[in-house]
Amino acid sequence: MTDLVLLGHGGGGELTRRLIADHILPRFANPALDPLTDGAVLANPGGRLCVTTDASVVTPLNFPGGCIGRLAVCGTVNDLAVMGARPLALTLSLIIEEGLPFAELDRQLDAAAAAAREAGVPIVTGDTKVVERRRGDGLLISTAGVGVLADGVELSPRRVRAGDAVLVSGRIAEHGLAVMACREGLAFKTPVVSDVAPVLRLCAALLTLGAELRFMRDPTRGGIAGVAADLAEDGAVGVELDERAIPISPACRHAAELLGLDPLAVANEGKLVAVVAGAAAERALALLRADPLGRDAAIIGRITAATPPLAELKTTAGGRRIVQRPHGEELPRIC
Amino acid sequence: MTDLVLLGHGGGGELTRRLIADHILPRFANPALDPLTDGAVLANPGGRLCVTTDASVVTPLNFPGGCIGRLAVCGTVNDLAVMGARPLALTLSLIIEEGLPFAELDRQLDAAAAAAREAGVPIVTGDTKVVERRRGDGLLISTAGVGVLADGVELSPRRVRAGDAVLVSGRIAEHGLAVMACREGLAFKTPVVSDVAPVLRLCAALLTLGAELRFMRDPTRGGIAGVAADLAEDGAVGVELDERAIPISPACRHAAELLGLDPLAVANEGKLVAVVAGAAAERALALLRADPLGRDAAIIGRITAATPPLAELKTTAGGRRIVQRPHGEELPRIC
């Protein structure tokens, strides 16, 4: 067996079968993953089904705090979790560049398997294709997830109303800045490390608030700014954020300045933004802070009845500025 | 709005939102596809859940008889269908190369939407990422599908037994040869055209045979040879195919010779291979032939108790040869 992935490994013949048998099945064997069928069969626990998908095209494949394998799994787990769903299963679709060392593929598969175990969600089926060598980025991963939504769970921007509180589960901008710093070859005295992690436990904690929990979102591409802008537009409400309340590490603040980026617009991969009834704000904060992943959680703003609906930031300097979705070119291939 | 997809369209900001609003939502709007959440919510009809995923990396994007958008949808619908499942929903994960004209993206999205309608399976959620321009292949698509399996449906190589009959639903090798011919710039007097299509109706017809239907598979990468070899190995049975019985068009036979390919090893994207009880062979054939997609269906072989378990071909010349999985390098990026 060669030590590099070859085009033939994607041909669907003997080489593909060996790749699956030697590299994939040993890591992901579970009752649902039956290599003899075209997919996986799962028990059905009832409840509305949630389906989501995500592609991971991050480059480089490995960055401080994580890698594409971990990112792919956490991203889809988190998408289901912030919908209020209990994830049942994940799929893993690999597009490998010819020339990727098998050692690298194995490392990413190990990371994906470990993230799935950490989240308690099995990867039940997958697919492997190989494309010609190009830039040597090596690997693209698409994941899909299926989950179930319990009766009565209705999280949506439409449920948000004036007087509600906006919370974030911890320090912002870590993932995007870690990847950008790594890409630019920047090293900081205090390293900037991706926060990539499953936020399932945090979501489960907030769901105990029942109807007082209005909305959750994971602030990935587009960051906090993107979530706030979407919330204002989709919920037809005003969103007022307090810059002094938004948690960010000194290292990230410094890295963002150096890279010329607005931390509010930088991707997070192990955080959630939640909107809860005003009266539940302190309880929500306590629930988040009770979890290690939520130790730096903070109430960062409130919902208003402002028209036209806008997201605004009360700045540290004492002014106000509109929070917009970033345009898009600033952070390519972060996720 | 530019006429080319830019890196910024994958940034998760304003450009991404516009791409989704202008190009994706108008084509795929349906009750489950709620742009305000991270995924889609579906009613749960009960029954075991089936999950499958597939990536489409075919190049060129457009080929006689189809294109990547159609291929991606049909591939996943067919994977669920041959498991005996009723498909509920599909996901669509797009990885676009910077520089792809929006007109091309729209064409592929139209094709995907049309294939989904043809199959009667909605695309309920998706994701869009953009990567740097490379070879100009332009587009990679990963799809995942969720379906439900009715009680009592158990299709598996393990159910196959000596005396069973092997059928194929129509003429073989059309998809792979169409793509290869297109790639090599070959044009035939009678064009070779991909068979890419959803085989749901054919599967539903065969499922009426109840327990007499043992196994189904869509012979994509690896072709009929791959399915036969897998069947022999996974079912621990002998598979004996009759070359004279295997339907293939004269144009495909000619194209395969010219390209130096074994038609048995070439991908099909609108066909199924089925194993049924020997006594049900003629009824199965009639069920397939009653459908336009199955008009050239044929009984192409039988299952034996041969040991060691092998797939063999009785050749037109009167000899016998072992049918092996193709190694893998012959047909890159066909699917």
Q: Which among B144, B149, B329 has the least Cβ separation from residue A41?
A: B149
Identify all chain A residues contacting B135, using CB atoms and an 8 Å cutoff. 132, 134
Say how far apart CA B13 and CA A327 lie, in whole Å. 5
Identify all chain A residues contacting B82, using CB atoms and an 8 Å cutoff. 38
The answer to whether residue B329 sits within a structural domain is no
Which helix or strand (DSSP H or E) is residue B174 part of?
helix B174-183
8 Å CB contact between A85 and B37: no
Looking at the structure, tell me whether residues A272 and A297 fall in a common domain.
Answer: yes
Distance from the Cα of A284 to chain B's closest Cα (Å) equals 21
pLDDT at B169 over 80: yes
Looking at the structure, tell me whether residues A69 and A189 fall in a common domain.
Answer: no
The answer to whether residue B330 sits within a structural domain is no
Q: Which among A94, A127, A325 has the least Cβ separation from residue B13?
A: A325
The pLDDT of residue A33 is: 65
Give the nearest chain B residue to A264 (CA atoms). B13
The pLDDT of residue B313 is: 97
Q: What 3-state DSSP class applies to B242?
A: strand
Asked if B43 lies within 8 A of A49 by C-beta distance, the reply is yes
Q: What 3-state DSSP class applies to B293?
A: helix
The pLDDT of residue A287 is: 98
Distance from the Cα of B332 to chain A's closest Cα (Å) equals 6
The pLDDT of residue A186 is: 86
Which DSSP string do the residues of B41-60 spell out, in sequence order? EE----SEEEEEEEEE--SS
Query: Using only C-alpha atoms, what is the Rg of chain B?
Result: 21
Say how far apart CA A129 and CA A98 lie, in whole Å. 10
The pLDDT of residue B25 is: 84
| Percent helix, strand and coil across chain B, each to the nearest 5 | 35, 25, 40
Averaged pLDDT, B115-133: 93
Distance from the Cα of B254 to chain A's closest Cα (Å) equals 22
Q: Number of A:B CB contacts under 8 A? A: 306
Q: Which of A249, A244, A260, A275 is nearest to A326 (CA)?
A: A260
Identify all chain A residues contacting B226, using CB atoms and an 8 Å cutoff. 12-13
Q: Which among A14, A40, A326 has the least Cβ separation from residue B328?
A: A14
**Amino acid at residue number A125:** T
Pairing label, strands A311-314, A238-242: parallel
pTM: 0.94
End residue of a domain, out of B91, B122, B149: B149
Say how far apart CA B72 and CA B311 lie, in whole Å. 29
DSSP code of residue B265: G
Give the nearest chain B residue to A329 (CA atoms). B8
Identify all chain B residues contacting A95, using CB atoms and an 8 Å cutoff. 55, 57, 95, 140, 142
| Domain extent at residue B300 | 157-322
Bridge partners, residue A313, by sequence: A241, A321
Averaged pLDDT, B303-309: 93
Q: Residue written as tokens 């979501």?
A: A203
* Contacts of A132 by beta carbon, 8 Å cutoff, 6+ apart: A7, A97, A98, B135, B332, B333
Distance from the Cα of B143 to chain A's closest Cα (Å) equals 8
* Contacts of A212 by beta carbon, 8 Å cutoff, 6+ apart: A276, A277, A279, A280, A284
8 Å CB contact between A230 and A221: no
Looking at the structure, tell me whether residues B186 and B211 fall in a common domain.
Answer: yes
Q: Classify residue A138 as left (phi > 0), alpha (psi -120 to 50) or beta.
A: left
B308 φ/ψ angles, rounded to the nearest 5 degrees = -65, 160
**Amino acid at residue number B151:** D
Q: Residue written as tokens 């399996």?
A: B149
Count of CB atoms within 10 A of residue A254's CB? 16
Q: Which among B38, B49, B142 has the least Cβ separation from residue A93?
A: B142
pLDDT at B30 over 90: no
pLDDT at B205 over 60: yes
Identify all chain B residues contacting A14, using CB atoms and an 8 Å cutoff. 324-328
pLDDT at B110 over 70: yes
Identify all chain B residues contacting A326, using CB atoms and an 8 Å cutoff. 11-14
In the structure, what pLDDT confidence band is assigned to residue B35 with cuts at 50, 70 and 90?
Answer: low
End residue of a domain, out of B149, B180, B196: B149
Using the Cα atoms of residue B302, residue B305, residue B311 and residue B316 in order, give the sign of their dihedral: negative
Q: What SS3 string covers chain A?
A: CCCECCHHHHCCCHHHHHHHHHHHHHHHCCCCCCCCCCCEEECCCCCEEEEEEEEECCCCCEECCEEHHHHHHHHHHHHHHHCCCEEEEEEEEEEEECCCEHHHHHHHHHHHHHHHHHHCCCEEEEEEEEECCCCCCCEEEEEEEEEEECCCCCCCHHHCCCCCEEEECCCCCHHHHHHHHHHCCCCCCCCCCCCCCCCHHHHHHHHCCHHHEEEEECCCCCHHHHHHHHHHHHHCCEEEEEHHHCCCCHHHHHHHHHHCCCHHHCCCCCCCEEEECHHHHHHHHHHHHCCHHHCCCEEEEEEECCCCCCEEEECCCCCEEECCCCCCCCCCCCC
Pairing label, strands A213-217, A273-276: antiparallel
Looking at the structure, tell me whether residues A232 and A203 fall in a common domain.
Answer: yes
The pLDDT of residue B17 is: 86
Q: Which among B12, B83, B148 has the least Cβ separation from residue A226?
A: B12
Q: Which among B11, B80, B326 has the least Cβ separation from residue A332?
A: B11
Give the residue from B58, B127, B275 with the most A CB atoms within 10 Å of its CB, the best one to mutate.
Answer: B127
The pLDDT of residue A303 is: 98
Looking at the structure, tell me whether residues B202 and B74 fall in a common domain.
Answer: no
Give the nearest chain B residue to A44 (CA atoms). B48
The answer to whether residue A124 sits within a structural domain is yes
Identify all chain A residues contacting B91, using CB atoms and an 8 Å cutoff. 51-53, 144
Q: Which among B41, B47, B51 has the least Cβ separation from residue A124?
A: B51
Looking at the structure, tell me whether residues A175 and A144 fall in a common domain.
Answer: no
DSSP code of residue B246: S
Identify all chain B residues contacting A158, using CB atoms and an 8 Å cutoff. 36
The answer to whether residue A302 sits within a structural domain is yes
Identify all chain A residues contacting B331, using CB atoms and an 8 Å cutoff. 11-12
**pLDDT tens per residue, range B7-27:** 889 888 888 888 888 898 888
Orientation of helix B200-207 relative to helix B68-82, angle to 10°: 10
Identify all chain B residues contacting A13, using CB atoms and an 8 Å cutoff. 221-222, 226, 265, 325-328, 330
Give the residue from A142, A160, A264, A269 with the most B CB atoms within 10 Å of its CB, the best one to mutate.
Answer: A142
Asked if B83 lies within 8 A of A330 by C-beta distance, the reply is no
End residue of a domain, out of A94, A120, A149: A149
Looking at the structure, tell me whether residues A180 and A63 fall in a common domain.
Answer: no
Looking at the structure, tell me whether residues A115 and A29 fall in a common domain.
Answer: yes
Asked if B16 lies within 8 A of A51 by C-beta distance, the reply is no
Averaged pLDDT, B316-333: 88
Distance from the Cα of B191 to chain A's closest Cα (Å) equals 24
Identify all chain B residues contacting A331, using CB atoms and an 8 Å cutoff. 11-12
The pLDDT of residue A265 is: 95
Q: Which among A11, A85, A221 has the least Cβ separation from residue B328?
A: A11
The answer to whether residue A111 sits within a structural domain is yes
CATH number at residue A230: 3.90.650.10
Looking at the structure, tell me whether residues B71 and B219 fall in a common domain.
Answer: no
Distance from the Cα of B310 to chain A's closest Cα (Å) equals 15
Looking at the structure, tell me whether residues A13 and A138 fall in a common domain.
Answer: yes
Asked if B14 lies within 8 A of A324 by C-beta distance, the reply is yes
Show pLDDT as tens, one digit a residue, over chain A (335 residues): 569 998 889 888 888 888 888 898 888 877 676 655 668 999 999 999 999 999 999 999 999 999 999 999 999 999 999 999 999 999 999 999 999 999 999 999 999 999 999 999 999 999 999 998 876 579 999 999 999 999 999 999 999 999 999 999 999 999 999 999 999 888 888 899 999 999 999 999 999 999 999 999 999 999 999 999 999 999 999 999 999 999 999 999 999 999 999 999 999 999 999 999 999 999 999 999 999 999 999 999 999 998 899 999 999 999 999 999 888 777 888 88
User: How many CA within 13 A on the CB side of residue A193?
Assistant: 6
Say how far apart CA A220 and CA B232 lie, in whole Å. 47
The pLDDT of residue A330 is: 78
The pLDDT of residue B204 is: 98
The pLDDT of residue B33 is: 65
Q: What 3-state DSSP class applies to B20?
A: helix
Q: Which of A173, A130, A160 is nearest to A23 (CA)?
A: A130
Mean of per-residue pLDDT scores for chain B: 93
Looking at the structure, tell me whether residues B281 and B231 fall in a common domain.
Answer: yes
The answer to whether residue A335 sits within a structural domain is no
Q: Which among A12, A57, A221 has the least Cβ separation from residue B226?
A: A12
The answer to whether residue A182 sits within a structural domain is yes
Q: What 3-state DSSP class applies to B319?
A: coil
Q: Which among B48, B217, B328 has the least Cβ separation from residue A16?
A: B328
User: How many CA within 13 A on the CB side of residue B130?
Assistant: 27
Identify all chain B residues contacting A15, using CB atoms and an 8 Å cutoff. 327-329
Identify all chain B residues contacting A148, using CB atoms and an 8 Å cutoff. 44
Averaged pLDDT, B54-67: 96
Say how far apart CA A198 and CA A23 lie, in whole Å. 24
Identify all chain A residues contacting B134, using CB atoms and an 8 Å cutoff. 134-135
Looking at the structure, tell me whether residues B187 and B303 fall in a common domain.
Answer: yes
Say how far apart CA B63 and CA B181 lie, in whole Å. 9
In the structure, what pLDDT confidence band is assigned to residue B131 with cuts at 50, 70 and 90?
Answer: very high
Pairing label, strands B238-242, B298-304: antiparallel
8 Å CB contact between A266 and B12: no
The pLDDT of residue B38 is: 67
DSSP code of residue B333: T
Asked if A55 lies within 8 A of B129 by C-beta distance, the reply is yes
Give the residue from A86, A88, A95, A127 with the most B CB atoms within 10 Å of its CB, the best one to mutate.
Answer: A127
CATH number at residue A63: 3.30.1330.10
Asked if B137 lies within 8 A of A131 by C-beta distance, the reply is yes
Domain count, chain B: 2
**pLDDT tens per residue, range B134-159:** 765 799 999 999 999 999 999 999 99
The answer to whether residue A333 sits within a structural domain is no
Averaged pLDDT, B25-44: 77
Say how far apart CA A96 and CA B71 lie, in whole Å. 19
**Amino acid at residue number A15:** L
**pLDDT tens per residue, range A97-138:** 999 999 999 999 999 999 999 999 999 999 999 998 876 579
